[in-house]
Amino acid sequence: MTSVHPPPVPGRELSNPPTDGISNLRFSNHSDNLLVSSWDKTVRLYDASANVLRGEFMHGGPVLDCCFHDDSSGFSASADNKVRRIMFSHGKEEILGRHDAPVRCIEYSYAAGQVITGSWDKTLKCWDPRGASGQERTLVGTYPQPERVYSLSLVGNRLVVATAGRHVNVYDLRNMSQPEQRRESSLKYQTRCVRCYPNGTGYALSSVEGRVAMEFFDLSEASQAKKYGTFATGGCDGFVNVWDGNNKKRLYQYSKYPTSVAALSFSRDGRLLAVASSYTFEEGDKAHEPDAIFVRSVNEIEVKPKPKYMGSE
């Protein structure tokens, strides 16, 4: 008699998911609240642990990115060219300002107290959300970029901007007059995403062909010996992989998700991983699985680098 094992569980599926492609999701720095933006023109706030939808805002166009301000408010970047502050506790939204084309990405800098947005209009803009509503009073500065902005990431006062044409600009938020560094992606194809290392020493950059480059801000030879740490990637193949960056080895591969992995986010303590299973149209318009958000518990064995075996000489 053979025993039948149940299929691997991809995590707990959240109720009331978006009804179109999920553009991003982010855990709060203070709780298990999860902010989700979508092409269905909504920004949703979930309590990921309780599996409860806490609130929802509808925009005038697809929402391409979102980020938290505090535990119950955040900011959104929309294809209607507008930058918004959304306050779930009050059910209220404010327009901080506009770009001349869809706003692709958004970050909030706790160090500078500013919102940073990148747009397909080839500009980066910084906003002061404490100003009265209205673009003239909230806009701190506009900074031209070499091409359309595809991804942003912040760590401390460092800002990394990745654009079309494989350009990468590194800024110090305390002096935005010009980039500290102007770089070109070391990968062959178009940049998909950039994320700074939590320790502030560099960034990981991914491209559409499924590769990831690990880069340091310090270009000296001594810097290249630094350790990368552990990180996760999700792809159009429906897999989430956890990597040991230092040894350039895969530590773990989760069971396949129903469709493309559009976004990932670890909770503040690394205990949970949120996965957006959402077709990203890499093969054009075709029938696909419904958009879904899975929240899974992370086990130490999945993310802890394995010690190197020290054999005898």
Judge whether 72 lies within some domain: yes
- Cα separation, 263 vs 35, in Å, equals 12
For residue 5, the model assigns a pLDDT of: 47
d(CA 197, CA 203): 5
Q: What was the pLDDT predicted at 87?
A: 95
d(CA 44, CA 276): 13
Query: What's residue 225's pLDDT?
Result: 55
**Residue 227: predicted pLDDT:** 55
Domain presence at residue 91: yes
Residue 262 main-chain phi, psi, to 5 deg? -90, -25
Phi/psi at 222 (nearest 5 deg)?
A: -60, -35
Q: Is residue 130 part of a domain?
A: yes
pLDDT tens for the chain, 313 residues long, are 555 444 566 789 999 999 999 999 999 999 999 999 999 999 999 999 999 999 999 999 999 999 999 999 999 999 999 999 999 999 999 999 999 999 999 999 999 999 999 999 999 999 999 875 555 568 999 999 999 999 999 999 999 999 999 999 999 999 999 999 999 998 889 999 999 988 898 999 999 888 888 888 887 766 655 555 778 888 888 888 888 877 778 888 888 898 889 899 999 988 999 999 988 776 677 777 889 999 999 888 888 877 665 444 4
Domain-located, residue 113: yes
**What CATH number corresponds to the domain at position 68?**
2.130.10.10
Q: Tell me if 105 is assigned to some domain.
A: yes
Range of the structural domain that residue 83 is part of: 9-144+261-280
Q: Is 28 among the domain residues?
A: yes
Closest CA to 101 of 84, 128, 82, 116: 82
What is the per-residue pLDDT for 310? 47
pTM, two decimals, is: 0.87
305 lies in some domain: no
pLDDT for res 309:
54
Report the alpha-carbon distance of residue 227 to residue 240 in Å, rounded.
22
Please tell me the total count of domains within the chain: 1
Residue 247: C-alpha distances to residues 70, 210, 297, 306 (Å): 36, 18, 24, 10
Is there a domain that residue 206 lies in? Answer: no
